[in-house]
Structure 1
Amino acid sequence: MTPERWQQVKAIFQWALERAPKERSAFLLSACGADESLRKEVESLLASHEKTGTFIDSPAYEAAAHLIADEKEEFKPGQVVGSYEIVSFISRGGMGEIYLAQDRRLNRKVALKILPVSFTRDMDRLRRFEQEARAASALNHPNIITIYEILKANLTHIIATEFVEGETLRQRLARGPVNLNESLFIAIHVADALAAAHAAGIVHRDIKPENIMIRPDGYVKVLDFGLAKLAEQSTAVASDEALTKQVRTGSGMILGTAGYMSPEQARGKAVDARSDIFSLGGVIYEMLTQQKPFDGETPSDVLASILKSEPPPITQFAPDTPAEPIRIVRKSLRKDPEERYQIVKDLLIDLKTLQQDLEFQKRMARTSIPVETPRAAIHTAADSPASIVPTGEVAESPTSVSHPALS
């Protein structure tokens, strides 16, 4: 069994353990789909677990135990790694630890993503860490975090990126509702970033509020290409259309954040640009409603919801939401990839068109001139022969007069 296959088996096994024994068969049918060998492998582990109570004696779990034991190793402020001096710890994610550091050569702040030394024994994790560096460094877009350098200091693997001040979209959501205009602004920036990534043959595969950074000036950056997958193709650059047809996930390993996975990603199937579209649709839904589109008490419950359930109507949480953003989100969240937007550029067009329509409506509202009485209306147009009302007729006064430039 390959390491990637083992990761897939282990993930489904762990999710199955969270369910009652009588529910596991149905869950495995849903999670494994048509992959009968995968289902049998998980069933075998479940049977072994029921018999022995655990299977942590397996080599894979011994390795995992070593990783967990070593995971406490940290870098301290003032410590020098390569040409960077550690300033402070920022966060820890599935692909490594993030530190704020000072570039001693160029005297600038940087963010260092550091893969702990203990994880270098996990060849799959190391491969994905290096893949992130290659994927993100190939992109040059204002809405995508910039890679400065990829280096190895002793046994430590490091990605140095621009340091983005601000807050994540998750933090922004925690502060309170995000109105429609702000939601569109953020979604357009993310879609623009994805369009550039997809054009370069890269699928992000982990679009979620935690990976969307909002600077103090409102500008948006897409972070963390740790799960990005390069398209399998002979040409150096792919169009969105080619990417939709050609990218594959390799082993079918389940990677991503449960609440934002596409159905095909949740099943460990091949993913393409349309998977990112689904994830972005989920993010837009959450911005509009303050609710996650798919939720549950356990990861397996969330996956089951993604595979089988439709999210509650947006109007249930935000009754004043216009029809068009509802349509856009609904189309993005279709279970069948063929029914979604096929390329992110089409989604981007709809988002920008909606934004322009809303801006036009605001301008119209600002430039409308209220007319208080019919007398005022007649007085306003008294110099115009066309405004003279014939004797015996009553002039109808509109409630407002639109600005001539917008008529």
Structure 2
Amino acid sequence: MTLDRRSLLAGAAAAPLAAALPGRRVRAQAANTIKIGVLNDQSGLYRDLAGPGSTVCVRQAVQEFGAQGFAVEVVQADHQNKPDVGSNIVRQWIDRDGVDVIMDVPTSSVALAVNGVVREKNKVYLNSTAATSDLTGPACSPNTIHWTYDTYMLAKGTGGAMVRAGGDTWFFITADYAFGHALERDTAEFVRRAGGRVLGAVRTPFPGTTDFSSFLVQAQASRAKVIGLANAGGDTINCIKQAAEFGLTRRGVKLAGLLVFLSDIHALGLQTAQGLVLTETFYWDLNDRTRALTQRVRPHMPNNAPPTMVQAGCYSATLHYLKTVQQMGVAAAKADGAAVIARMKAMPTDDDAFGPGRIREDGRKLHPAYLFEVKKPEESRGPWDYYKLLQTVPAEEAFRPLAEGGCPLVRS
């Protein structure tokens, strides 16, 4: 075969073009791929209530959404309950890895830090697990939706119920970070509105302690009728166990678990947890739709456990987000996180976790809340049958009124 000058030049020009094609394909694939980053506690106090189970629920939503003309990739990371670790992961995810939406994020101090980073980068933040109501108050953002529950809802539900039942004097054992402070603040306000009194409070290190005996002794010395546990996960479990060991409940003291998850009740056992009153927005055995969701997701969950409310919230938020991306188009959704959030707010929500709902101007996702009592051992029909329903709070009443939050996004 004879090669002339023209053939050589054509071949030389084609070589770099051929080498560039794989890179172009990668970029084209990335441009048509939505990346979801699940950020939570994978190894500490909040592992069981969120952790790997949240990722399972996100993947379930992706699977059910199906192939709609774009790909979806899910990544996960452990923020170790540290704001600096969480915010650094998010910056790396967005700047280096092209993550479009941050999901879950327990620990309110981490959540508030992530909230600022996502706003700066104009991406999307769908918070399911952090509780501080400040996310729809002073710290509200056009890039954030607070999905599952918050400290105001918990305070109104559990705190209000305890005062109505005669628990009119309170002492708080409070995790010493943003979540605990917000939960104590919101609950104390409801106690006072109902005519009750707060006799004192003690702040406990977070993370950093498993021995709550000295704090329980201070609470008992106050002679309060109710000890409000403004903590969560392993801290709540340890407080309740140690209070039982001290015999506080036998002496007439009521424990108010202000944030208690199904996983906590499982760890405590019904013998210890029976009679606790708590507020949740999801329970696996609440209705036909929650049971159907649980049946689909449970085989993939750690220890075959039904989802907690925040894990169900990750499923719900992911599904609504993907529906929004489908409407907007991938390119538009990746380019402008605030525009995605605005479109999500404009669309009604509906899924098997929470049923119909909507998202308010301040980023608060609205759905009913439920006041439950933990069953006695003899009332339970089997594993994970732990709650009996006391009261349903309608969606429009469960959360803080829009005008009271102080969100700068709300037009007066």
Higher relative contact order (CA 8 A, sep 6+): 2
TM range (shorter): under 0.3
Normalising by structure 1, we get a TM-score of 0.26
- TM-score (norm: length of structure 2): 0.26
